[in-house]
Structure 1
Amino acid sequence: MADIADFANEMVQDGLDHILAKRAALKAANAAPSLEICAECLEPIPEGRRLAQPGCTFCVECQSVEDLRAARYAR
């Protein structure tokens, strides 16, 4: 049996989901076009990555290396 706290939590979650969906749509709309060639290794970036990650400049492998490098210097 649902009580008022469950109802309130559901309303808050619905609001957050709506806001996050709008934010994701806005981010995708404002992103620069993805590169077709990786800026690091000069290999082609697969179309699936370019569509999934608008504005990408690195292939998956080079992006992984960049993320590790950034995490190391973030400490």
Structure 2
Amino acid sequence: MATGWAGDGAVQDQIDATVKDAIQRARSQLPCGPGLSHCAECDAPIPDARRKALPGVRLCVTCQSELDREHSAQSGYNRRGSKDSQLR
């Protein structure tokens, strides 16, 4: 049941738009183009299996793991979904 000027499906439309934006943002961050044979950060060789699995890969597993850890610490995304966690 909608209140005010919102239509009946307004909340679901907003949820769908948020999910669509998140998917688009994640896809835009995927590597593309030719991959590297050596890591762009530490110059370690990138195994053929990794380059085949991730076309456009630019980092070795160690450097990519470190980058992922840094990004997850800065994300600030509320995974619990409770109001209390939003206030902290």
Fold agreement, TM-score > 0.5: yes
Aligned residue pairs: how many? 45
Runs of 4+ in 1 over 2 A off after TM superposition: none
- Structure 2 unmatched runs, 5+: 1-31, 77-88
Tell me, yes or no, if structure 1 residue 47 matches structure 2 residue 48: yes
Higher helix share: 1
Q: Which has the higher contact order (CA 8 A, sep 6+)?
A: 1
Deviation at 1:42, TM superposition (A): 0.6
Distance 2:41 2:74 in 1: 19
Distance 2:70 2:34 in 1: 24
TM-score by length of 1: 0.57
**Which of the two has higher C-alpha Rg?**
2
- The one-letter amino acid of 1:38's match is C
TM-score by length of 2: 0.49
Deviation at 1:33, TM superposition (A): 1.0
